[in-house]
A and B are shown apart, each in its own frame.
Chain A
Amino acid sequence: MNFGESDAERGLRAEVREVLRTPPVRGALDELARAMAAGEREPDVRPLYRAIAAHRLFAASWPEEYGGRGVSHLEAAAVIEELVRGGMPDMLQVLSVQIVGLFLLEAGSPAQKARYLPALASGEMFATVLYTEPEVGSDLASLRATAVRDGEGYRLSGTKVFGLKSGMSDIGLCAVRTGTGTTKYEGISLFLVDLHADGVTRGNIASLADEQYDRVELDGVWVGADTLLGAEGEGWSLLTRCLAIERTGLDYSLKAARWYDATLSGLTAGTADDALLEEAGRYGAAVDAARLLAWNSISQLGRGPLDPTSAAIAKYHTSETAQQVAYWAALVHGHGYGLRGLAPGKAAVLEAGYREGPGLTLSAGTSEMMLELVASSFDRPDVIGGAGDGSRV
């Protein structure tokens, strides 16, 4: 275990801070801030992303041929931390690069990688995730959307809900049923759907959070066979692998830290009573632990597949902590976040955090599903004395 920063990580962080000061990036950040201040809930982040991507920092862990720098997952995580701390909203980047892009890197064919990855890394193309359906949430394997063979390709039909950023995206990683088997886990396939294609209708479902849910209708949308990921009908094992990638917890840990720092910025030793100090200490440690758990799962990424239990642990703790901090902030700073003279910018961060918080413990697998995963990993018969992960240090 090494809790320090490598030279490469330190160098990349410094570089990111430089990039954030360059006029195109600074300008795009200022434009975003202006839009938010004017009350836009979901301003277009794509110009900012492209300005950052011009420095090959958007998908830094990807091989150079795909627009990355070939740095380790840990170094790429340092880049993301620095970008987010510098004010980059991360949701579309998480969806495009950290989820769909990484999935393609793992499971895509060489042709698929060549076609999509450079475009995703440069910010030319964006991607979203289309799994959930009105009747199908946690029990994803029961999904109903279908794909049927049609000539050289397939026709996709169904309704996908509660995704994010479909309006700004060009492709969707979509789970559908291509057949049935003896169990519901068979016959699931994954496609990369062109969201500009005929038969795709994109709409919003209003939600409490700034980021609105999407509803994507697929009405006989034709896709070529070359958009199928992996083998037909065998999408479930790919999916479970990909779901772990969504759960490193890095994005949630950054939200937890942002909300905690904003909360603390309005406190001083003189104005906080003992009870408040106690909570500030406790939440501070929980936020630190969130970052450590996220980095613990990222540390595994470079060494082989991410252990689903570690990912579930990271996802659970990071999202629960971020949510708790957002609620705590509302209590600490009181009505309108005005009790302790918080700076207006920080109050806005916390106000939005309160509305975003409840989604964190639902997206990318609910907290209950994470507890299920952790419980199912219990080493039942020989746990006592068995090495298990009890000996991990």
Chain B
Amino acid sequence: MDLASDPVLERIAGTVRDGLSAAAAGPDGSATLAALADLDGFAFAASMELGGFDLGLSCGVTIAVELGRRALPDVYTGGMLVADALPEAGDEAPGADVAAAVVAGKQVVVAAGLDRATAGDAAPAEPSPGGWRLPEVLTVDDVHPDAAVCAAFRAGDGEVLLAVLPATLWRPLARPAFPWSGHAPSPAAVAPGEIASGQVIGSLGAGRPLTDPAGLLARHRVRQAGYLLGLGLGAHALAVAHAAGRRQFDRYVLDNQAVAFPLAKAKIDLEAARLLVYRAAWLADAGEPFAREAAEALAWTAEVTLRTVRTSVQAHGARGLTVAAPVHRFFEVVRAAATRLGPPGALWRESALRRLAEDHTAVAERQS
């Protein structure tokens, strides 16, 4: 195991960061989409069959980190879920056109329903003549007016399926979550309705934890963890910069241990997050099992980033709650990002069950 920083990924990170620097912050991801598309960012981690460069999940994570670092709307991870589900699809496959458009940077996809569907308590969709009838409202982050939705739903037999639904199916909620600032994407709702079997693009398997035969959920979790890691790093950098410049009691605020130590602790937790996230991505790229590592990378990063953002807002004083201080965006964005794929507690329980199973498998192997 040699964990020296990877120069190729560092270069990609630098390129993406430079490219995104032009994108305006705010809930509308149009500028982010344009900036990322400009540098072919959607193609980096996608398969060659889809017109991508096949640089792997580690590269996809790196892009997600850079989006998070500036709390830009997540115009990326949902599309990559679709691209993962259809890596070799011919033109005929359902959703293939969407996957191709994603990789070309022409289509944003937002994922929905993964929290409920993975927790296992989602009401099953009723079979209907053309496919299924979605029984409940799904919420999505409204990051782009023409975003398609990649919806996870539980079929009657317990299998969790992914379907791509067009932009026309969802609508902004009547009351956006953050009407006062407008810096975080508002949730929108996908109304209960028909899903045609032709819209289904993949399966996350069945059972608890989900069998996830193609690793789609695990890959999506790792990218989400990357986005959260970026949010943590970005908020932390803002807090350090603010506390290093603000003077009270004739010294910099950062010169007090009560301010510096929580930020130091956050930095340590984020460094651990970085390694957990990139380990999961590396395992995926190496073709090794990585389901537990993916769940843990996401749960760890979600918790650490929530704490880091809170600490970072505190270090800003009252200014941190104002629209003038960019840290407030992180506070708004992190809540949805930390729970979109299920609350960390559920992920930890899943990881423990996997660990206990591994433990007993190892014991059984030794005994045999």
Q: Which residues of A are in contact with B by a Cβ distance under 8 Å?
A: 1-6, 9, 74, 261, 264-265, 267-269, 272, 274, 276-282, 284-286, 288-289, 292-293, 295-296, 299-300, 303, 313, 316-317, 368, 370-372, 374-375, 378-381, 383-385, 387, 390-393
Which residues on the B side are within 8 Å of A300 (C-beta)?
4
Among B237, B244, B303, B360: residue with most chain A CB under 10 A: B237
Chain A residue contacts of B272, Cβ below 8 A: 286, 289, 292-293, 317
- Check if B347 is an interface residue, CB within 8 A of chain A: yes
Which 9 A/B pairs are nearest by Cβ-Cβ distance?
Answer: A281-B348, A289-B272, A281-B351, A375-B260, A280-B352, A374-B264, A292-B275, A393-B9, A281-B352
Which secondary structure dominates chain B's binding surface? helix
C-alpha spacing A299/B2, complex, angstroms: 5
Q: Do B352 and A272 have beta carbons less than 8 Å apart?
A: yes
Q: Are A371 and B276 in contact (CB under 8 A)?
A: no
Q: Complex Cα distance A280/B9, Å?
A: 32
B residues near A392, Cβ cutoff 8 Å: 5, 10, 274
Stretch at the interface among B45-53, B114-122, B277-285: B277-285
30 A-B residue pairs with CB within 8 Å: A2-B1, A2-B3, A267-B356, A277-B348, A279-B352, A280-B356, A281-B299, A281-B351, A282-B299, A282-B300, A284-B352, A288-B279, A288-B296, A289-B272, A292-B279, A295-B3, A296-B275, A313-B268, A317-B271, A368-B261, A371-B260, A371-B261, A372-B264, A375-B257, A383-B241, A384-B241, A390-B69, A391-B13, A393-B6, A393-B9
Which residues of chain B are within 8 angstroms of A267 by Cβ–Cβ distance?
A: 356
A315 to B9, CA, bound (A): 26
Expressed in whole angstroms, the minimum distance between the Cβ of A107 and any Cβ of chain B is 24
Interface assignment of B254: CB less than 8 Å from any CB of chain A: yes
**In the bound complex, how far is the Cα of B235 from the Cα of A390, in angstroms?**
12
In the complex with contacts A1-B2, A292-B275, A384-B296 CB distance below 8 A? no
Task: Quote the shortest CB–CB distance from B252 to chain A (angstroms).
Answer: 8
Interface residues on B, range: 35 or more
Q: What 16 additional pairs, Cβ within 8 angstroms, besides A264-B359, A292-B272, A375-B260?
A: A1-B58, A2-B2, A3-B282, A6-B2, A269-B357, A286-B300, A299-B3, A299-B4, A313-B267, A372-B264, A374-B267, A378-B263, A383-B244, A384-B237, A390-B233, A393-B278
- Indicate whether A5 sits within 8 Å of B350 (C-beta atoms), given known contacts A374-B268, A393-B9: no
Q: Which of A74, A384, A391 is B238 in contact with, Cβ under 8 Å?
A: A384
Q: Is the CB of B5 within 8 A of A393?
A: yes
- Report the bound CA distance from A220 to B34 in whole Å: 75
Q: Per DSSP, are chain A's interface residues mostly helix, strand or loop, or mixed?
A: helix
On whether the beta carbons of B260 and A284 are closer than 8 Å, the reply is: no
Chain B residues lying within 8 Å of A371, measured Cβ to Cβ, are: 257, 260-261, 264-265
Check: B353 CB closer than 8 A to any chain A CB.
Answer: yes
> B348 to A278, Cβ gap below 8 A?
yes
Q: Which residues in chain B, 335-358, are within 8 Å of chain A measured between CB atoms?
A: 345, 347-353, 355-357
Q: CA–CA, A265 to B6, complex, Å?
A: 36
The reply on B240 being an interface residue by CB < 8 A is yes
From B1, B263, B276, B356, contact of A285 by CB (8 A): B276
The contact of A317 among B2, B268, B279, B353, by CB within 8 Å, is B268
A387: chain B residues at CB < 8 Å are 14
Indicate if the CB atoms of B14 and A391 lie closer than 8 Å.
yes
Cβ-defined contact, A285 with B299, below 8 A: yes
How long is the Cα–Cα vector from A279 to B356 in the complex, in angstroms?
13
Q: Which of B1, B269, B296, B297 has a CB less than 8 Å from the CB of A9?
A: B1
Query: Which B residues are CB-close (under 8 A) to A285?
Result: 276, 296-297, 299-300, 348, 351
Bound complex: CA of A379 vs CA of B244, how far in Å?
9
Q: Are A375 and B353 in contact (CB under 8 A)?
A: no
B169 to chain A, nearest CB (A): 35
Which residues of A are found within 8 Å of B356, using beta-carbon distances? 264, 267-269, 272, 280
Give complex CA distance A282, B344 in Å: 9
Q: A81 to chain B: closest CB distance in Å? A: 10
B254 and A281 form a contact (CB under 8 A): no
**Which B residues touch A279, using CB under 8 A?**
348, 352
Complexed CA–CA distance, A211 and B264 (Å): 31
Most A CB contacts (10 A, CB to CB) among B254, B261, B299 go to B261
**Chain A CB within 10 Å, residue with most, of B13, B65, B268, B349:** B268
Q: Whole-angstrom distance between the alpha carbons of A285 and B294 in the complex?
A: 11
User: Is B286 interfacial (CB 8 A cutoff)?
Assistant: yes
- Give min CB distance, B6 to chain A, whole Å: 5
Does B133 lie at the interface of the complex (its beta carbon under 8 Å from any beta carbon of A)?
A: no
Smallest CB–CB gap between B249 and chain A, Å? 17
Residues of A within 8 A of B296 (CB): 281, 284-285, 288
Contact with A along B205-240 (1 / 0, CB 8 A): 000000000000000000000000000010001101
